[in-house]
């Protein structure tokens, strides 16, 4: 049984930006085929922040990287499903989406960093240590905005400048650009790029962007580096921003500033954001809607407050109860016993059955599908299924306290 996308009706108020349908990403290892992402489906609506939460190894990063096909193959295998993506133009002209898993590498290059941008977890590793900040951000413009760079020539740019604006010059041309008569034109281009880069950096509230542009990553603090990453990601005003644990490497006080910044920029540009994190109290502050992942599957999806105040899946309940808060007494923190199951050849069963207090023999033999629930929510738990649908007796269904409603 596969987990079908069962989006409830009435959810189509905002147009879709991306729709993941039955995504399967496996990894070929010596021990066997690891089903890191096994049938994940969700939609990202225009202008929303979707939080993707889960513990280490649940497949959230793999899901995110699949959007840009950043999983190395081999060992990775895109085993099935599709990721449909509507760019702004496609949405305006009601054009069909592109399947990011199928399009050619050349087409993908026009989307990467342009229509879909990504912020990585560790800004220290994601920035090139041997390149000044300004040059790194400028690459985005050279790559995707070369036409805009030639504005100053008003459409009459010489061919060599057109090549220079997309960084496709040959060695001999680069040499020619350093001497008159082309030198002044090359400088004009450089000034135009610097202007755009400074603008992009200033938008992320970096003080004194001109100075930052000539410094190297090691001269900046972690928070500042992450701002540079955000500036780089938003430089082309993408339709979808994927933030993969963008604040995990930062201190809490800096983290709060970065989160504020992402929210603010998201509101200003109306960019859809896929925000991946393992930090529940953080995602609660960031996301409009969240999807909880467990062992390569979506366990539960819904509006953030609904999921936090009325968690339905036993895993979500366990996870929320495990976060220390003022309501807990020492030593009475509830824990989810056991560990995450192996993802090599998992049995056809609920992935959570080994750690679930409510599991029945049904959970150990039948894989639950995502079930649509009232309030635009979906849960993958048999406790919320109707016995007729599964074709089993009602007493074989598990019972979760407080539900099914």
Report the C-alpha gap between 344 and 125 in whole angstroms.
Answer: 30
List phi, psi (to 5°) of 364. Answer: -85, -10
Name the β-bridge partners of 49: 273
- Contact of 82 with 102, CB cutoff 8 Å: yes
Q: Is 218 near other proteins (CB under 8 A)?
A: no
By beta-carbon proximity to other proteins, the closer residue of 118 and 336 is 336
The site string for other proteins over 225-254 (x = CB under 8 A, - otherwise) reads --------------------------xxxx
Of 171-190, which residues contact other proteins (CB under 8 A)?
none
Q: Is 393 near other proteins (CB under 8 A)?
A: no
Count how many residues are written for the chain.
405
The residue range among 7-15, 107-115, 316-324, 367-375 that interacts with other proteins, by the rule CB under 8 A, is 316-324
CB atoms within 10 A of CB 390: 17
Min dist CB 315 to other proteins, Å, is 9
The enclosing H or E element of 264 equals helix 252-269
Q: CB neighbours of 172 closer than 8 A, spacing ≥ 6?
A: none
Q: Is 270 near other proteins (CB under 8 A)?
A: no
Min dist CB 18 to other proteins, Å, is 27
By beta-carbon proximity to other proteins, the closer residue of 268 and 285 is 285
Q: Which pairing describes strands 76-85 and 98-99: parallel, antiparallel, or unpaired?
A: antiparallel
The residue range among 31-39, 132-140, 155-163, 323-331 that interacts with other proteins, by the rule CB under 8 A, is 323-331
By beta-carbon proximity to other proteins, the closer residue of 6 and 214 is 214
- Contact of 97 with 86, CB cutoff 8 Å: yes
Q: Is 208 near other proteins (CB under 8 A)?
A: yes
Token pair for 209: 């962007």
Q: Is 130 near other proteins (CB under 8 A)?
A: no
What DSSP designation does 296 have? T
Q: Is 337 near other proteins (CB under 8 A)?
A: yes
* Sheet with 32-45, edge to edge strand ranges: 32-45, 16-29, 76-85, 98-99
List phi, psi (to 5°) of 307. Answer: -65, -40
Q: Is 125 near other proteins (CB under 8 A)?
A: no
Q: CB neighbours of 9 closer than 8 A, spacing ≥ 6?
A: none
Q: Is 333 near other proteins (CB under 8 A)?
A: yes
Question: Whole-angstrom distance between the N-terminal and C-terminal Cα of the chain?
Answer: 24
By beta-carbon proximity to other proteins, the closer residue of 188 and 284 is 284
Min dist CB 330 to other proteins, Å, is 5
Q: Is 52 near other proteins (CB under 8 A)?
A: no
By beta-carbon proximity to other proteins, the closer residue of 69 and 289 is 289
By beta-carbon proximity to other proteins, the closer residue of 209 and 398 is 209
Q: Is 94 near other proteins (CB under 8 A)?
A: no
Q: Is 320 near other proteins (CB under 8 A)?
A: yes
SS3 119: strand
Min dist CB 254 to other proteins, Å, is 6
- Beta strand residue intervals within 238-303, DSSP E: 240-244, 272-277, 289-294, 297-303
By beta-carbon proximity to other proteins, the closer residue of 34 and 282 is 282
Q: Is 134 near other proteins (CB under 8 A)?
A: no
- Contact of 50 with 108, CB cutoff 8 Å: no
Among 281, 344, 361, 375, interactor with other proteins by CB under 8 A: 281
* Angle, CA of 321, 324 and 328, to the nearest 5°: 75
CB atoms within 10 A of CB 123: 26
Min dist CB 115 to other proteins, Å, is 29
Among 161, 280, 290, 366, interactor with other proteins by CB under 8 A: 280
Among 11, 211, 268, 399, interactor with other proteins by CB under 8 A: 211
Q: Is 255 near other proteins (CB under 8 A)?
A: yes
| Dihedral sign of CA atoms 32, 36, 41, 45 in order | negative
Min dist CB 265 to other proteins, Å, is 15
Q: Closest Cα partner for 62 from 329, 383, 295?
A: 295
Contacting residues toward other proteins, per CB under 8 A: 55-56, 207-208, 210-211, 221, 223-224, 251-260, 278, 280-282, 284-285, 308, 318-320, 322-328, 330-337, 339-340
């Amino acid at each position: 049984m596969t987990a079908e996308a069962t989006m409830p009706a009435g959810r189509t108020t905002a147009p879709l930006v991306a729709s993941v349908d039955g995504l399967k990403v496996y990894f070929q290892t010596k021990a066997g085929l690891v089903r890191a992402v096994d049938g994940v489906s969700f939609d990202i609506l225009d202008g929303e922040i979707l939080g993707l939460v889960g513990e280490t190894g649940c497949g959230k990063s793999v899901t995110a990287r699949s959007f840009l096909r950043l999983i190395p193959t081999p060992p990775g295998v895109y085993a099935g499903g599709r990721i449909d993506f509507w760019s702004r133009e496609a949405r305006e002209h009601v054009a069909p989406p592109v399947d990011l898993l199928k399009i050619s590498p050349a087409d993908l290059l026009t989307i990467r960093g342009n229509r879909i941008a990504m912020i990585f977890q560790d800004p220290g590793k994601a920035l090139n240590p041997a390149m000044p900040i300004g040059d790194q951000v400028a690459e985005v413009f050279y790559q995707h905005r070369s036409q805009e760079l030639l504005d100053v020539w008003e459409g009459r740019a010489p061919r060599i400048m057109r090549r220079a604006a997309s960084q496709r010059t040959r060695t001999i041309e680069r040499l020619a650009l350093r001497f008159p008569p082309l030198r002044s034109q090359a400088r004009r281009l450089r000034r135009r790029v610097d202007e755009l880069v400074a603008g992009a950096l200033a938008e992320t509230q970096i003080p004194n962007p001109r100075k930052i542009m000539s410094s190297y990553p090691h001269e900046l603090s972690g928070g500042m580096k992450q701002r540079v990453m955000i500036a780089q990601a938003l430089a082309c005003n993408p339709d979808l921003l994927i933030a993969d644990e963008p604040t995990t490497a930062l201190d809490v006080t800096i983290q709060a500033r970065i989160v504020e910044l992402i929210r603010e920029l998201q509101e200003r540009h109306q960019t859809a954001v896929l925000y991946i994190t393992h930090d529940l109290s953080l995602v609660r502050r960031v996301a409009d809607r969240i999807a909880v992942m467990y062992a390569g599957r979506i366990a539960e999806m819904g509006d953030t407050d609904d999921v936090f105040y009325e968690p339905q899946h036993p895993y979500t309940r366990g996870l929320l109860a495990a976060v220390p808060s003022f309501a807990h007494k020492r030593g009475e923190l509830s824990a989810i016993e056991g560990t995450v199951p192996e993802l090599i050849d998992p049995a056809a069963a609920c992935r959570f059955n080994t750690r679930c207090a409510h599991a029945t023999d049904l959970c150990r033999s039948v894989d639950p599908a995502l079930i649509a629930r009232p309030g635009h929510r979906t849960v993958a738990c048999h406790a919320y299924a109707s016995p007729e649908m599964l074709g089993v007796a009602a007493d074989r269904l598990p019972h979760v306290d407080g539900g099914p409603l």
